[in-house]
Structure 1
Amino acid sequence: MIATQGVAPAETVGLPAPPPRGQYVVDEASLLDSASRATVDSITRVRAAIGLPVYVLTIHSVASHDSSGMTFDELSRRTFKAWSASGPGAEGAAMIVVSEEDKQARIEVGPRWAQGHDSSLKQIMSDALEPALASGSLDQGLVLATYETTWALKPPEVSL
């Protein structure tokens, strides 16, 4: 018998570590000031309470992870898949990913949102994340993107 305790599965090597259970924000790049962090935490916890978590991840750069030549998009997709699979509500999960040095952002969504939300998510990218990347006000952009993503992916039967 081979012991594998403490060994990461091959598909998670080079990916950012998920947040502790019950938390949904990993701010590796320290882009969120304390007030923005509290707001984003509050939004993500409310969302998770209805079984539809929104994760927020900031990284310094793709190169800051041992990502074996992955692109930003691939790192985002694989991280979302790994995190949502280990948490509640994988079908309805979403993730906002920002790379500070690469000046890239992406919103990943679970299968529940795969159809009919592209235009809303593109609008969030152009209204919140792209201007924040250009201006350097990423804390404000992440708060706005988290809020807008929560509303864009709101099931009709849920009142937030």
Structure 2
Amino acid sequence: MTALPEALRAEIGIVRHSDWIVVDQAMIDRFADATCDHQFIHVDPVRAATTPFGGTIAHGFLTLSLLPHLQNSISRPAAPAASIEVNYGLDQVRFIHPVRSGSRIRAASTLVSVVEKTPGSFQQTLKMTVEIEGADKPALVALWHIRFMI
């Protein structure tokens, strides 16, 4: 068994916030082009204005795909000498509230657990909540699993 750095173990249960970022129409349009998902609620401001959303909204998967960027802006002690980190997957992903074009979002990240899977190989689980500035509900919540080796 490899010793888990105490600084990382001490982070379990602590909520840390990312920087705010703006999800604007240009970002939504680029994501639509990259994923070939051009549903009008994402890319047609005039038509989307007639929906209950009142304008275009980000794809749920766009918001989800921003997790690495948001997580990278959070200062949290890392495992020293981690040779590699890989995305292992997500559980309990829920898209709770739409992100309107022009909204600012940030992540609330809570380290839930760190488990040694094999000697020197760990899996951390983060509870990720993407908050929308001024909204009473989050855009999404998910459990994110990341494997790393030391």
Q: TM-score, normalised by structure 1?
A: 0.27
Larger radius of gyration: 2
Question: Which structure features the higher share of helix residues?
Answer: 1
Q: TM-score, normalised by structure 2?
A: 0.28
Question: Which structure features the higher share of strand residues?
Answer: 2
